[in-house]
């Protein structure tokens, strides 16, 4: 896929990995709809990108909101060729806490609802529009990039909900790619390691340095533009399909 001139949606585009990806797509000549919550900086980021971006307020778990965002992107750009799913939330807690209390089931449900169900909601609604695209070279009509985490494979103590949600994203990547192959739509997932996202940057500096020291090479936190570069490469490389790619500097997370 040639990013030049395409219309794309980036969820969670108001900050972190999503913002970096939106900026990378625009830098390559694409146009992007930033889908994010109203309290995000999505509108501000879109404004900074000028006429190449719009902000579409929606919760990824809301069917009507996401459908409206997809329709807005198509109306603004003429078609939708790419989606990068970066929206997500974190949660922490042991299955049974030190006080003997069980993990809050509502927190578990909400984590899966946003990270897993929300990702699938965007995929299905975007893909239903992409199938109507005129095929490009090689028959491609679109490409979708999802965001999992190394926690899908190396879940730490207290990450039962988060790991389950991201493991679900990994698990559905191949079957969705197979589902959409007949329509010429590719699907891949990136599993980032320790990245300098707003959530992680809220930690004290010594804690961030300790995390960075666990990464074999390079011994530092990942930069969101490095995620964005891989997301753009997946969009551009027509042979990448049905795969989950770890982007983690060879880190393997310890139990705690």
Average pLDDT, integer, range 148-162: 95
Instruction: Say what the pLDDT of residue 211 is.
Output: 85
Q: How many CA atoms lie within 13 A of 80 on its CB side?
A: 27
Nearest residue to 192 (alpha-carbon basis) of 120, 35, 108, 85: 85
| Active-site residue, selected from the candidate residues 77, 162, 195, 227 | 162
pLDDT (average), residues 122-135:
98
For position 256, what pLDDT does the model report? 83
pLDDT for residue 19 is more than 80: yes
* Residue 203, pLDDT above cutoff 80: no
Rounded distance between C-alpha atoms, residue 7 and residue 25, angstroms? 9
Query: Does the annotation count 227 as an active-site position?
Result: no
- Domains of the chain plus CATH, in order, are 7-247 (3.40.50.720)
pTM: 0.95
Q: Please confirm whether the linkage preceding 37 is cis (ω < 30° from 0).
A: no
Mean pLDDT of 29-48: 97
Q: Report the distance separating Cα 48 and Cα 237, nearest Å.
A: 28
Q: By percentage, how much of the chain surpasses pLDDT 90?
A: 90
CA atoms lying within 13 Å on the CB side of residue 31 = 18
- Across the range 183-206, mean pLDDT stands at 89
Indicate the burial class of 182 (C-beta count within 10 angstroms; 0-12, 13-18, 19 or more).
exposed
Backbone torsions φ then ψ of 39, nearest 5 degrees: -80, 0
Cα atoms in the 13 Å half-sphere on the side-chain side of 79: 15
The reported pLDDT for the residue numbered 100 is: 94
Task: Check pLDDT > 80 for residue 130.
Answer: yes
Render pLDDT for 210-227 as a digit per residue (tens, 0 to 9). 888 999 999 999 999 999
Q: Is the pLDDT of residue 81 over 90?
A: yes
Average pLDDT over all residues of the chain: 95
Pairing state of beta strands 82-85 and 53-57?
A: unpaired
Q: Is the pLDDT of residue 249 over 80?
A: yes
Does the pLDDT value for residue 123 go beyond 90?
Answer: yes
Summarize the confidence of residues 151-158 as an average pLDDT: 94
Torsion 191-239-216-203 (CA) sign:
negative
Span 145-169, mean pLDDT?
Answer: 96
Give me the DSSP letters along 81-126: -EEEE-------B-SB-TTSPBP-HHHHHHHHIIIIIHHHHHHHHH
Q: How far apart are CA 227 and CA 211, in angstroms?
A: 18
């Amino acid at each position: 896929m040639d990013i030049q001139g395409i219309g794309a949606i980036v969820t969670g585009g108001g900050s972190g990995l999503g913002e970096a990806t939106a900026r990378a797509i625009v830098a390559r000549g694409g146009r992007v709809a930033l889908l994010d919550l109203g309290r995000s900086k999505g509108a501000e980021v879109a404004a900074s990108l000028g006429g190449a971006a719009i902000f579409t307020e929606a919760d990824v778990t809301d069917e009507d909101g996401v459908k409206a965002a997809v329709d807005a992107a198509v109306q603004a750009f003429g078609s939708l060729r790419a989606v990068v799913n970066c929206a997500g939330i974190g949660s922490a807690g042991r299955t049974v806490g030190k006080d003997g209390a069980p993990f809050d089931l509502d927190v578990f449900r909400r984590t899966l609802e946003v990270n897993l169900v929300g990702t699938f909601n965007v995929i299905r609604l975007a893909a239903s529009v992409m199938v109507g695209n005129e095929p490009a070279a090689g028959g491609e009509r679109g490409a979708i990039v999802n965001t999992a985490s190394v926690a899908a494979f190396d879940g730490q103590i207290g990450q039962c909900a988060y790991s389950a949600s991201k493991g679900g994203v990994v698990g559905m990547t191949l079957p969705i790619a197979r589902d959409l192959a007949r329509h010429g739509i590719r699907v891949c997932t990136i599993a980032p390691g320790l990245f300098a996202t707003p959530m992680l940057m809220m930690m004290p500096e010594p804690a961030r340095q300790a995390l960075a020291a666990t990464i074999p090479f390079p011994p530092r936190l990942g930069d969101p533009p490095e995620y964005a570069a891989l997301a753009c490469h997946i969009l551009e490389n027509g042979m990448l399909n049905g795969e989950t790619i770890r982007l983690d500097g060879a880190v393997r997370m310890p139990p705690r």
